[in-house]
Structure 1
Amino acid sequence: MSRPSTLERIPAHLRQYVVQQDYEAYDAVDQAVWRFILLQTYNQLKETAHPIYVSGLNQTGIFIDRIPRIEEMDECLSHYGWGAVCVDGFIPPRAFQEFQALGILTIAADVRTADHLAYTPAPDIIHESAGHAPIIPDPDYNRFLRRFGEIGRLAFSSREDLAVYNAIRNLSVVKEDISSTSEQIYAAEVRLEEAIASVSYTSEASLMSRLHWWTVEYGLIGTPQDYKIYGAGILSSVGESYFLHLPEVRKIKLTSACVDVNYDITKQQPQLFVVETFDQLNDILDEVSKDFACFVGGAKALRVAKESGETCTVELNSGLQITGILTGVVDEDQPAYLQFTGPCALARRNRHLPGHEKDHHAAGYGTPIGVLEDGSELSTWQPGDLQRLGYTGPGARITMRFKSGVEVQGNLEKVTTNEEGYLQLLTFTGCTVHRGEQRLFQPEWGDYDMAIGERVTSAFAGAADLSFWPETEFAQRKVPRGKHYSEADKKLVTMFDQYNLLKVGQDPEKVLKRFAEMADVVENEYPEHWLLPWYMLESLCHMDRGVRLSMRLRNFMKGIESRRFREVPVSMGLKFLGLS
């Protein structure tokens, strides 16, 4: 039986994020940016990256001379149990984790601009492909990534997390947009600062985000004195892969305490963490997540779920799962009654109970939990045991009193059991639920479905059954979108096109003459642009011609670097050509 394709493996609610890569939309500047970064990073990383990096590039469909086709990457990654799809820039963190849990790389198709060549906070195809893919062939790292996604998709976030995410997304888009003004960039930076300042506590999702940053994005492996690079943010950054070796960038042994260190996505990192082996990453993941609501359950899990304000699933010791937004817990220290709002659903083993999908509980759901007044646990009862409460058959009126003080009284119409024959759900008509003077359910609200369970064993973000979410279709739009170039930018793109034609089989003297003319244009009209001069300089080195023009181009580029040292990798590019 053949393995399902990557698209076939994507749940219906995630299809909306998948778009189509329009390969013909990449222009000459895009390809030039890709090739320069891959040349420079590969030249450095073949010595400083984890050994699998070099072979991992080709094994995952990535080549130095051209931007990768995502369908080719998908085919290559399938040999390692992974796949790849194209997405349009940022996608919500929860969706990202779900894709990762499925073993699917989400790859943004855009290419960073030449102005942000050394580093960009926005997702682009250089980072998403050349950064993330090459290490996947390592089986221990592969396993860690999948487990990270599986746990990450269950981690609770907060409303404050969403504000920070939206601010980061906005800043990244604004910074990468060639038409953005300095005022717009400043406003976006202020918005992010304010969002970060408003965070009142560190959520589970934030802890996972920090762990992801210091491992998957910016991780080193080995020892603080002798390390190799595996983090995607470094593997895809000309600047980070160079500056990380400076002594002022501290190298710290990785422990679970790394999640106490926040990060700034817009800046190069002041410290990095070093793990001994990829297998150790799984141990640290377990340490960071051991107290998450999905693993500990109980009153703590309910507090986390309620505080998050997001759709979640609460699982009881009976195996019954309740999906909805938890808004009320009667007696939070010793939970007696759970109240959910919005569309809710009941499930077991991540599958909806027939008739208890969200349409049936569209207005919310509530249920008591805990033992009966005499200490009995309903989850251990079979239908015959209900006779102890006076149940004689469908429609019999019974009263249940819980040790918590909650009382349920109504006509028991239906008894639902699990596969083992134990009670799972009781359906009443004419039902009243109260705790002292507190009314929790009244007959006029309709039928009452009471969940069976004494304890909360787990609570996690999201739905138990993925069909809870609305179905979506694959987006029909293509990316990258066409760029809105100014006349000056169009002229620069045209010169890159001319360069590509000149370097192939042309008369050397004609090439030198045209290169000199292009150098005049760049110096006079683009005094901060260095990438085209670098390419011309590379061609001159191969031709072994034009010493004076070479020196002129070199000096022009060095002048730009003197003004923007950490922004432009000129020295690195010159060193690559043997001209530093």
Structure 2
Amino acid sequence: MQKDSHQREMHGALASLTPPSGAAEDWTVPQRWDELTAEDHWVWDTLFARQQTLLHGRAVEAFERGLDMLHLSRPGVPNFDELNEKLDRRTGWTVVAVPGLVPDDVFFRHLSERRFPAGNFIRAADQLDYLEEPDVFHDVFGHVPLLAQPDVADFMQALGRLGLEALDRGALHRLARLYWYTVEFGLARENGALKIYGAGILSSFGESHYSLENAKPHRLDFDLKRILRTRYRTDCFQLSYFVIDRFEDVLKLVLRNDLTALYEELDRLPDLSPCTVDADDLLAA
């Protein structure tokens, strides 16, 4: 089964690349909103309307409240200048345009400085349900509404700092798993039900259904050590999800632990497959 779009796969190998032609040293580029086509705006509006309808009652309430960030004065792909006026006032974050996936060190440095890199392109009309690389719909629709939530905004900045530290320690694969199973594919309990807060699910029509309703994937209680040991797949819907009691608490659960010590401890243990459940795992209700 194919995912609607691939998300960032972090491995550290991109750190030595130089910016492409036309990009600044930090890999940012002008958005050039005026150069977007009518089809580009149609694709955004079509995806937005479909996901907003689908996610009602499936996403955490803070995401639905944050969607008003994307209701700007003009339809279609958000103009980042207008969007950033609203987002910066709320949490001090801004969205910056980049040509596509950026090196891991560049990505985490942007996060550490409260900037979210967004791909400066949108999928074609015949690619609504599948895309190799995250585009502006995934990056902005999936991430920005929750960046208007102070707890999430602070967690994302902390992940930026932790990512840079993990790169220095050769432990990026561990930190990438934390990012993957929270920011991209996290589930949470809210009002007695499972809800979506991960951007990779929020921006995916197929996985929005699958993550909550399909019997195939494992839904495990949030356990930081387990997450740091668990590999992930980028080429299919997720085989395991980790469920937190309150998605707003993820920063506290991470910062109360010494990640460097955890990395060293876990290096002595085997990685775990997302396909399997151990006897010690707690299954989320």
TM-score normalized with structure 1 length? 0.38
Pair 1:291-2:257 in alignment: no
Pair 1:89-2:100 in alignment: yes
Pair 1:33-2:52 in alignment: no
Could you give the per-residue CA deviations for residues 427-453 of structure 1, whole angstroms, max 9, x where no partner exists?
xxxxxxxxxxxxxxxxxxxxxxxxxxx
The answer (yes or no) to whether the contact 1:62–1:129 under 8 Å persists in 2 is no
Pair 1:208-2:218 in alignment: no
2:82 pairs with one of 65, 72, 88: 72
Letter in 1 for 2:216: E
The match for 2:116 is 105
The answer (yes or no) to whether the contact 1:37–1:237 under 8 Å persists in 2 is no
Distance 1:252 1:49, change over 3 A: same
Q: Distance in 2 between matches of 1:210 and 1:120?
A: 21
Aligned ranges 1:155-174 → 2 under 5 Å: 155-156=166-167
Distance 1:154 1:60, change over 3 A: farther
Q: Distance in 1 between matches of 2:258 and 2:171?
A: 9
Pair 1:150-2:119 in alignment: no
Alpha-carbon shift at residue 120 of structure 1 (Å): 2.5
Describe the SS at the equivalent of 2:147.
coil
Letter in 1 for 2:57: E
Distance 1:209 1:64, change over 3 A: farther
The answer (yes or no) to whether the contact 1:14–1:95 under 8 Å persists in 2 is no
Could you give the per-residue CA deviations for residues 255-290 of structure 1, whole angstroms, max 9, x where no partner exists?
111122212223221221111123431244233714
Letter in 2 for 1:138: Q
The match for 2:235 is 266
The answer (yes or no) to whether the contact 1:90–1:108 under 8 Å persists in 2 is yes
The match for 1:467 is none
Describe the SS at the equivalent of 2:243.
strand
Describe the SS at the equivalent of 2:159.
helix
Pair 1:19-2:29 in alignment: yes
Distance 1:266 1:116, change over 3 A: farther
The answer (yes or no) to whether the contact 2:40–2:76 under 8 Å persists in 1 is no
The match for 1:486 is none
The match for 1:253 is 221
Percent identity between the aligned chains? 27
Letter in 2 for 1:289: L
Describe the SS at the equivalent of 1:98.
helix
Could you give the per-residue CA deviations for residues 111-154 of structure 1, whole angstroms, max 9, x where no partner exists?
11233312424021001101110012222222111111111111
Q: Distance in 1 between matches of 2:156 and 2:231?
A: 21
Alpha-carbon shift at residue 156 of structure 1 (Å): 2.6
Describe the SS at the equivalent of 2:145.
coil
Describe the SS at the equivalent of 2:242.
strand
Distance 1:157 1:52, change over 3 A: same
The answer (yes or no) to whether the contact 1:57–1:63 under 8 Å persists in 2 is no
Q: Distance in 1 between matches of 2:133 and 2:247?
A: 27
Pair 1:277-2:246 in alignment: yes
1:50 pairs with one of 53, 60, 64: 60
Describe the SS at the equivalent of 1:263.
coil
TM-score normalized with structure 2 length? 0.75
The answer (yes or no) to whether the contact 1:157–1:206 under 8 Å persists in 2 is no
Letter in 2 for 1:49: A
Aligned ranges 1:420-569 → 2 under 5 Å: none
Distance 1:279 1:24, change over 3 A: closer
The answer (yes or no) to whether the contact 1:218–1:233 under 8 Å persists in 2 is yes
The match for 2:188 is 221
The match for 2:136 is 125
Distance 1:15 1:62, change over 3 A: farther
Letter in 1 for 2:136: I
Letter in 2 for 1:253: D
Q: Distance in 1 between matches of 2:96 and 2:27?
A: 9
Distance 1:60 1:42, change over 3 A: closer
Distance 1:55 1:78, change over 3 A: same
Distance 1:61 1:290, change over 3 A: farther
Distance 1:31 1:14, change over 3 A: closer
Alpha-carbon shift at residue 14 of structure 1 (Å): 7.0
Could you give the per-residue CA deviations for residues 450-498 of structure 1, whole angstroms, max 9, x where no partner exists?
xxxxxxxxxxxxxxxxxxxxxxxxxxxxxxxxxxxxxxxxxxxxxxxxx
The match for 1:234 is 201
Alpha-carbon shift at residue 78 of structure 1 (Å): 0.7
Select between 132-141 and 59-68 the one with higher mean Cα deviation. Answer: 59-68
Describe the SS at the equivalent of 1:47.
coil
Describe the SS at the equivalent of 2:166.
coil
Letter in 2 for 1:110: F
CA RMSD between the two structures: 2.6
Q: Distance in 2 between matches of 1:288 and 1:129?
A: 31
Greater share of strand = 1
Q: Distance in 1 between matches of 2:73 and 2:220?
A: 32
Alpha-carbon shift at residue 22 of structure 1 (Å): 2.0
Greater RCO (Cα-Cα under 8 Å, separation 6 or more) = 2
Describe the SS at the equivalent of 1:18.
coil
Q: Distance in 2 between matches of 1:60 and 1:33?
A: 15
Alpha-carbon shift at residue 230 of structure 1 (Å): 1.0
Number of aligned residue pairs: 238
Q: Distance in 1 between matches of 2:182 and 2:70?
A: 20
The match for 2:10 is none
Consecutive unaligned residues in structure 1, runs of 5 or more: 1-12, 159-202, 301-580
Flag the structure with larger Rg: 1
Distance 1:18 1:226, change over 3 A: same
Q: Distance in 1 between matches of 2:73 and 2:100?
A: 22
The answer (yes or no) to whether the contact 1:144–1:282 under 8 Å persists in 2 is yes
Q: Distance in 1 between matches of 2:203 and 2:85?
A: 22
